Copies of this chain bind each other. A is one copy, B any other.
Amino acid sequence: MAKNVRIRDVAKAAGVSTATVSRALSNPELLTESTRETVFSAIHATGYRVNKAARNLRTRQAGAVLVLVPNLGNPFFSKILAGVSEWFDDHGYSVLIADTKHHATAGKLPVDYFLDAQVDGMICLDGTLSAEDLKQFEANGVADQIVFACEWVHDSNLPSVRSDNLQGARLAVRHLYELGHRKIAHVTGPQDNVLTHVRRQGMLEERARLDLPVRDDWIIRGDFSLESGRAAAERIVEMEDRPSAVFCASDQVAFGLISTLTARGLRVPEDISVVGFDDIELSEFYVPALTTIRQDRHGLGANAASLLMECLEAGPGAGNEKAPVLVDVELVVRQSSAAPRR
């Protein structure tokens, strides 16, 4: 039962030319109702499926997009992928994935992923690309077929879809403020990361706006990881002037933080309140359930997909001046934040 049905076979079965079969699939309105039906029943009868390699060769398109993920093993990306995949499934594109992390050593440039995959466009979830990487995109004429999602490259004007991180950080701080907290600390993400920068900025802005006390050692460097949350907790435990609340740049940081704080005898939220950022699956079920800023990851993915498709169909230069799409975030209040002990 091998699959060797070619368009020619369908044409023969339907008693028409290959052109007619092709049109039946791509421009059915060009055909008479009766031929169209004949052709479709022949297609059905033969079990014909267009050979994409042939079509792609002829049309010089790929009907596929690539999602470049900095670390596929990170479960954070799964919902974004789901959003991307859903959109493109519905719109007839195939979705390829590639993990940049693994090949960091192999000297494969981001642009190589794009060119090697031979896709029409790319969604990049990695905001750590260098200016040089972007130059390469330009140089190879693919810059117009790239959309950043979730992260983005500082100072680049490539189109991107992102959460409203600034607003998220503000919401977190304001929430803690409204609970009565004044001494608020922040565990940041990794140094070179745009998200780190914006969330920290939002946090600092809101802290200033609310006229809260400032201490340099309340801004603790982390890297989004559980481990860095643990490290931050160790620091906090030993502070003589301890904050009463901590806003973490990610939920994972918050988990590490809470875990270690608890192990060190500080209770959350009784002794110290914690707010995260992301709202990953388990945040709701953590003990204590985590108060956090929800990112609509599925929405980020779907929006990025839709934006990329727009760019692709609009042709070159389309994405050039597109403003970043901001996706709303939402404060989700749970058990890890409460009024401070007095």
Q: Is B53 a contact partner of A81 (Cβ separation < 8 A)?
A: no
Whole-angstrom distance between the alpha carbons of A57 and B53 in the complex?
5
Kindly supply a per-residue 1/0 record for chain A positions 97-112, scoring 1 wherever the CB is within 8 Å of any chain B CB and 0 otherwise. Answer: 1110011000000000
> Chain B residue with minimal CB distance to A138?
B1
A342 contacts the other chain (Cβ, under 8 Å)? no
Count of residues in A whose CB is under 8 Å from the partner chain: 58
Whole-angstrom distance between the alpha carbons of A287 and B288 in the complex?
8
Q: Is A95 a contact partner of B97 (Cβ separation < 8 A)?
A: yes
A3 contacts the other chain (Cβ, under 8 Å)? yes
> Chain B residue with minimal CB distance to A2?
B141
**CB-CB under 8 A for A95 and B98, given A56-B53, A262-B287, A284-B226:** yes
Within A289-338, which residues are at the interface with B (CB < 8 Å)? 289, 298
Whole-angstrom distance between the alpha carbons of A86 and B104 in the complex?
12
Within A247-269, which residues are at the interface with B (CB < 8 Å)? 252, 255-256, 258-259, 262
Kindly supply a per-residue 1/0 record for chain A positions 28-65, scoring 1 wherever the CB is within 8 Å of any chain B CB and 0 otherwise. Answer: 00000000000000000000010111101100001010
> Which one of B62, B85, B262, B287 lies within 8 Å of A98 (CB-CB)?
B85
Within A101-141, which residues are at the interface with B (CB < 8 Å)? 102-103, 115-118, 139-141
- Among A75, A116, A140, A289, the most chain B Cβ lie within 10 Å of the Cβ of A75
Whole-angstrom distance between the alpha carbons of A281 and B287 in the complex?
16
A77 contacts the other chain (Cβ, under 8 Å)? yes
Chain B's nearest CB lies how many Å from the CB of A145? 12
**CB-CB under 8 A for A255 and B282, given A73-B78, A78-B73:** yes
Q: Is A85 a contact partner of B57 (Cβ separation < 8 A)?
A: no
A79 contacts the other chain (Cβ, under 8 Å)? yes
A210 contacts the other chain (Cβ, under 8 Å)? no
Q: Is B85 a contact partner of A81 (Cβ separation < 8 A)?
A: no
A82 contacts the other chain (Cβ, under 8 Å)? yes
> Chain B residue with minimal CB distance to A288?
B287
Q: Is B103 a contact partner of A139 (Cβ separation < 8 A)?
A: no
Measured CB to CB, the residues of A under 8 A from B are 1-3, 49, 51-54, 56-57, 62, 64, 71-79, 81-82, 85-86, 89, 94-99, 102-103, 115-118, 139-141, 226, 229, 252, 255-256, 258-259, 262, 280-282, 284-287, 289, 298
For the complex of A and B, 3 pairs with smallest distance between CB atoms:
A75-B75, A53-B56, A72-B82
